[in-house]
Each structure stands twice: as structure tokens, then as C-alpha cells.
């Protein structure tokens, strides 16, 4: 007797889905979404014609996880661990996610930043097998046909990169797709969106990275990057095909560079269900940290002065989210802008300079800066002192930029300076938390973009909260997919920030810690997802429910919460008790 389907459940509410399997024998083992490897029971081995193709012993998922963890421990470097987990994913999706879920704090830096940056650089040389979709000038004209041929068609989220602004290491050509793979693993770990509802896409428009162009192993389209009209025509062809084939799928733009990131985001805000995590996700997670800091300081955001040093996509995204929150808290739009300063490699962003359009919103009139009388005055220290900066944010990628003198200057303006060195990886952080604590006698409120060891101060260890975008984007995706939102609204990111800040425990706030621990990622994502979904219902941009669930929320927030729980997937085998 042959088995023709497995039945498994989504979430604790038990929505049962039948998966039809027409494969038999080795083909079952090669299909990573359903393969259990040595966990196939004797009965299943007979029904699926696997008898004799596996060793006799049947292992449980828990035993497989334990074995995999022991193998990972033997790996000497994080990139070796990354390769093992990815190869495990290609064989057995459920086991790979069960391994990651066993210690998300430990594995997050391996499956995503910082290790994924090295994986991008080594992509061509360590290529093992196909993952996701690669569009390039040779196939973009029949993009819809390519999308239609992809194995999984019930897609909830696609992460799409043009490979140019990869994690501070720049243009990686075809090598950027591991970024998409890593992000989608976190959508599964945090939001609980099953791997077969996730699609990684690379838009390979060439590369200006000479090292790649001269590498005989390079797997990408070996040409200089498309620019101008050619580039935007390529993007338009992709968007047209994607929207036609996946009209209700969320598209997350990932690691586009500076002006291009804003141009693409803004052009397709209404045309696609889309957002840019580097801009909006970064802005939301930074706002969450600031909101938590205000709870510690017992002050309000309109009473602060903000300096974002590093006016790239992430930095301006942070400035945008701070501005939005200030306006929502009752400030006049012009007054809110006056509270926010941005700096780039040339100093304060001012209107008398030739600057990219995306920097214009927070560019200052130099005449209003009465203390700025000569080019020599245009320094971060002078800005902090003269404008009374109380919240210092680093997105510049310049290690050690926040010196003792700068931190002291911020401390002169407030009893509890908020210092946020957010650049990744750890080696590029603008300050080391231990130094900031020491320089301010433990008064500074610190969070970082990369993981740091706890700070030892005054006889105690203090965990350093990590401003990791993984607290934001999985929940955004969950809320959008579950609600069936037809667009991604700015209020979604405000809701996410408040949800994250609300997750910081009273004890952590008392200790000056601004973020929950990463091992609460799944719980935080659930709360963010429900808050985002509720905002979508409130804004009347929903379509009654998720595309891959029969249960509909009918614009009822309580039913939405049930639906969110229903569609959340956990790594367990089909038919597992």
C-alpha cells in the first residue's frame, strides 16, 4: 500500500493541511521539504519504497538534532558551520530549522550576519546547489515563465536583492543571494513562516567588483553593472512579472545601495506589497531602542536631540522613523526635522552641498547653524556641543569613531546619554560598549548592531541589547501575510517598534538594557505580527486573510490573532505526534 500524502498541522490551533507526494524511492530523500532522512519509520519506508535505502535504525528528530549539533561543534570556523547548516537545509529543511531553533542566539550570527557576509564573498567557490531564483539580462524578458516554474508556488514572502550594498562589504554580484537565504531562515525562525512559503531572488545586473569579474570561478553575469535607464528597465520587467504571478506576495527589497534603495522602494510602494528592510526595518529597530531608553530616562522623545552619523540607507531610514514618531507624538513636522541631524563622510549634511535626493529631508540650512563659521567647525564634536545632542547613533562603519571625548560631550547634555553604535560587523562598531560604560561611569544607555559580550561594570555583568533587524522584519512579514495587507504602511514600522520596546522586561530597563534577548525572537515576532496585522485592519488595507489558510479573519482583530497562530510553523516532522 502506497502513501500519497502526509498530514501536518500549522500552529497550536491545528489547521490540518494535506501534502500530496507522488515521489517514491530516492526522489523522496532528495526533496528537502519532506525528507526525514533516518527518521522515516519502517512503515513509511515500505510505503514510500525506501526500504533498503536507509540504515535500519530509525532515529527521532531530537536524536538527529543532537547528532547534528555534535558535528557542528567539531567545525573550527563559523563559515564551516554555515556551510554545514546550509547543506543540512538542502537535505532536510525540518532538521536544519530544528537545529537552529535549539539555540537561536548561538546560530543567528552563523546563518546571518556576520558570517553570511563571508558566505557572499565566497559564493562562487563554495557553491553546492541551487537555491532560489537568479534573474539576469539573459532571462529577465521571460521572468514570469521562470517564476511559474519554481518548485514552490504558495509564496508568502520573497526577499529580493540586486547584490550591490551587501552588509557593508559592497557589490558582490551573484554572491548576494546568501543574504536572501539568511533573511528567509529568520522569517521561519521568528515569524514561523514555513520555508516553502519563502522565496530568495537575486537580480544579477552585473558587477563592478573587479575581483569577481577577473575570477575564473565567478558564477554571475560577467559584465559591468547596468546603470540608469537600463537598470531601471530591468527592475521594471521583474516587478511586472512578479506582480502578475505573485500578486499577493510580500516583496522585501534587500541590500540595494543608497539612492537606488530609496528610488526602488518609493517607486513601487503602491504597485507592490513591498518594503526595504535596510531603510524601514533599521529605522524601526532603532526607534524601538530609543523608546526603551525613554522609559529608562523617564523622558520624552521630543525633548531629545538626535545625531545620526552615517547618512546611508540605514542612517536616513533611522532619521525617517524618528521623525515619524516625533510627529505622531504631536510635534510639528518642521520642528521634528530640526531635532534630527545627519552626518556623512563630508560632515554635517547641509543644503549648500551637492547631495543625493534621499538626504535632502534632513539637510540643514547652514545659515541656521550660527556656530558653523568655517570648514574647520564642521566636526561631530562641535555639533554635539552646540546642538546639545542627547542621542548619538552610528551607522558609518567607522570603528572607534565615538571617542571618549565625544561620549563625554553627549554626557554633558544629559544625565543618561543614549549611545547606539550600530555598524556591522563588530569590527566596524563606532564604539565598544565596555569603553562607553567606563567613560560615563555606567550612565550611558547602550545598544549595538552587532553582538557583544556582556559589559562588566561595578562588580556586575550587563547584557548589551542588540539592535538586530530580526526583531522587526519577521513580525512585519507575519502581520502582512496573515492580514492579507495590500500595501506596507509606515505605521506598521511604528507599531513594530512599540511592540519590541514593550517586550523589554522591567528588570532589563532597570539595568539600562534596551532590547529583549535574541532567544525571545519568536515571541517578539508574534507580538509584532499581531500589532502589524491589527494596524492593517484599522487602515482598511486587508484582504480578509492569508492566501495559504482557509481560516479568514474577516477584519476582526481577535480572529486575526487566531489566524496568526494558525499559520505559524514549527520544525517537526509530518505525522509527528
Known catalytic residues?
Answer: 112, 183
Task: Determine contact, residues 132/201, Cβ cutoff 8 Å.
Answer: yes
Residue 26: CB partners within 8 Å, gap ≥ 6? 53
Closest CA to 467 of 246, 293, 238: 293
Task: Determine contact, residues 255/166, Cβ cutoff 8 Å.
Answer: yes
Closest CA to 260 of 138, 149, 165: 165
Residue 37: CB partners within 8 Å, gap ≥ 6? 29, 54, 59, 64, 91, 92, 95
Does residue 342 sit in helix, strand or coil? Answer: strand
| The Cα angle at residue 536 between residues 534 and 537, in degrees rounded to 5 | 65
Closest CA to 158 of 268, 83, 28, 317: 268
Task: Determine contact, residues 400/431, Cβ cutoff 8 Å.
Answer: yes
Which 8-state DSSP code applies to residue 463? Answer: P
Closest CA to 397 of 59, 208, 117: 117
Residue 457, strand partner residues? 460
Task: Determine contact, residues 519/511, Cβ cutoff 8 Å.
Answer: no
Amino acid at each position: 500500500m502506497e502513501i500519497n500524502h502526509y498530514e501536518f498541522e500549522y500552529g497550536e490551533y491545528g489547521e490540518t493541511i494535506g501534502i500530496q507526494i507522488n515521489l517514491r524511492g530516492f526522489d523522496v530523500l532528495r526533496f528537502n521539504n519532506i525528507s526525514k532522512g533516518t527518521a522515516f519509520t519502517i512503515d513509511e519506508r515500505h510505503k514510500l519504497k525506501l526500504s533498503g535505502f536507509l540504515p535500519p535504525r530509525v532515529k527521532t528528530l531530537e536524536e538527529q538534532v543532537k547528532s547534528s549539533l555534535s558535528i557542528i561543534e567539531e567545525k573550527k570556523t563559523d563559515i564551516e558551520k554555515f556551510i554545514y547548516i546550509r547543506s543540512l537545509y538542502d537535505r532536510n529543511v525540518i532538521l536544519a530549522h530544528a537545529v537552529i531553533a535549539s539555540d537561536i542566539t548561538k546560530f543567528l550570527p552563523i546563518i546571518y550576519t556576520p558570517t553570511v557576509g563571508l558566505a557572499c564573498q565566497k559564493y562562487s567557490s563554495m557553491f553546492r546547489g541551487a537555491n532560489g531564483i537568479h534573474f539576469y539580462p539573459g532571462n529577465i524578458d521571460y521572468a514570469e515563465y521562470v517564476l511559474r516554474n519554481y518548485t514552490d508556488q504558495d509564496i508568502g514572502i520573497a526577499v529580493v536583492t540586486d547584490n550591490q550594498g551587501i552588509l557593508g562589504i559592497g557589490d558582490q554580484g551573484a554572491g548576494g543571494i546568501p543574504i536572501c537565504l539568511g533573511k528567509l531562515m529568520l522569517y521561519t525562525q521568528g515569524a514561523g513562516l514555513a520555508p516553502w512559503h519563502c522565496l530568495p531572488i537575486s537580480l544579477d545586473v552585473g558587477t563592478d567588483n573587479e575581483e569577481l569579474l577577473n575570477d575564473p570561478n565567478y558564477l554571475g553575469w560577467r559584465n559591468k553593472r547596468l546603470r540608469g535607464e537600463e537598470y531601471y528597465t530591468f527592475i521594471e520587467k521583474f516587478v511586472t512579472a512578479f506582480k502578475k504571478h505573485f500578486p499577493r506576495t510580500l516583496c522585501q527589497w534587500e541590500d540595494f545601495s543608497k539612492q537606488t534603495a530609496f528610488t526602488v522602494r518609493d517607486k513601487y510602494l503602491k504597485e507592490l506589497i513591498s518594503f526595504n528592510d535596510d531603510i524601514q526595518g533599521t529605522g524601526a529597530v532603532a526607534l524601538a531602542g530609543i523608546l526603551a531608553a525613554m522609559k529608562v530616562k523617564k523622558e520624552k522623545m521630543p525633548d531629545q536631540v538626535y545625531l545620526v552619523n552615517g547618512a546611508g540607507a540605514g542612517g536616513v531610514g533611522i532619521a525617517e522613523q524618528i521623525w515619524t514618531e516625533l510627529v505622531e507624538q504631536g510635534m510639528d513636522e518642521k520642528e521634528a526635522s530640526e531635532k534630527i541631524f545627519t552626518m556623512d563622510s563630508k560632515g554635517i549634511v547641509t543644503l549648500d552641498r551637492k547631495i543625493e535626493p534621499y538626504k535632502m529631508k534632513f539637510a540643514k540650512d547652514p545659515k541656521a547653524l550660527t556656530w558653523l563659521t568655517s570648514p574647520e567647525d564642521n566636526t561631530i564634536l562641535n555639533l554635539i556641543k552646540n546642538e546639545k545632542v542627547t542621542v548619538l547613533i552610528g551607522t558609518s562603519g567607522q570603528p572607534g569613531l565615538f571617542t571618549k571625548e565625544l561620549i563625554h560631550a553627549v554626557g554633558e547634555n544629559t544625565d543618561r546619554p543614549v549611545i547606539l553604535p550600530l555598524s556591522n560587523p563588530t569590527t566596524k562598531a563606532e564604539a565598544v560598549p565596555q569603553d562607553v560604560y567606563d567613560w560615563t561611569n555606567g550612565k550611558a544607555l547602550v545598544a549595538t548592531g552587532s553582538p557583544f559580550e556582556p559589559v562588566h561594570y561595578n562588580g556586575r555583568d550587563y547584557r548589551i541589547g542588540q539592535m538586530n533587524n530580526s526583531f522587526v522584519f519577521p513580525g512585519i512579514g507575519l502581520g502582512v501575510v496573515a492580514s492579507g495587507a495590500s500595501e506596507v504602511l509606515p505605521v506598521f514600522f511604528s507599531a513594530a517598534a512599540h511592540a519590541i520596546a514593550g517586550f523589554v522586561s522591567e528588570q532589563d530597563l532597570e539595568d539600562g538594557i534596551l532590547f529583549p534577548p535574541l532567544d525571545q525572537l519568536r515571541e517578539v515576532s508574534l507580538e509584532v505580527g499581531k500589532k502589524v496585522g491589527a494596524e492593517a485592519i484599522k487602515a482598511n488595507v486587508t484582504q480578509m486573510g492569508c492566501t495559504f489558510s482557509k481560516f479568514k479573519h474577516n477584519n476582526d482583530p481577535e480572529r486575526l490573532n487566531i489566524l496568526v497562530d494558525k499559520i505559524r510553523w514549527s520544525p517537526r516532522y509530518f505525522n509527528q505526534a
